[in-house]
Amino acid sequence: MPKRRRGTQSRRLQHRITAGSPAGRHHPFEALVERALATIPDPFASALDEVAVVIEDEPSLEQLRESGLDEDETLYGLYQGVPRTAWGAGSVPIPNKISLFRLPLEADYPDPDDLAEEVRLTVVHELAHHLGIDDDRLDELGV
């Protein structure tokens, strides 16, 4: 069985969520992401203003390699950027991005309720990376 992971380190309103391309838009999945973002409580929700949320069909080979995965493995989500805990006065600002990978999530969670819950967990997991929480701590917390 292929390895599946929520993500690794490497906007809250609907207009801040982007799909890979207009032709690739998938409105039901976008609605799940919107609902997941709406459940994030303050003060964590304000951190979403610093992160672009992007829906992509699948992770690229480069994203898999950077995450230490093989071609037969996949990701549900990926945070790319500089975590808040690493920001400094001399830091060069780079865009922070959370990518959510629609096809692996839909393939592994065909039940709509299960899919909605996994999207929520993946969003929380990736936002936690932006807040400086690593995978070991997230595992301890069950996220």
* Predicted confidence (pLDDT) per residue in 37-84, tens digit: 999 988 888 888 888 999 999 999 999 998 899 888 889 999 988 787
Per-residue pLDDT for 21 more than 50? Answer: no
Q: Is 98 exposed, middle or buried (0-12, 13-18, 19+ CB in 10 A)?
A: buried
Could you state, in order of their start, the residue ranges of all structural domains in the chain?
Answer: 4-141
Coil vs helix vs strand at 133: coil
Choice between 10 and 22, residue whose per-residue pLDDT is larger? 22
CA distance 48 to 127: 8
Per-residue pLDDT for 5 more than 60? Answer: no
Choice between 27 and 112, residue whose per-residue pLDDT is larger? 112
pLDDT score of 7: 52
Choice between 105 and 42, residue whose per-residue pLDDT is larger? 105
CA distance 42 to 45: 5
pLDDT score of 14: 35
For the domain covering 4-141, report its CATH number.
3.30.2010.20
Q: Is residue 59 within 8 Å of 101, Cβ to Cβ? A: yes
Percent of the chain topping pLDDT 90:
44
Handedness of CA 57, 106, 10, 127 (dihedral sign): positive
pLDDT score of 88: 60
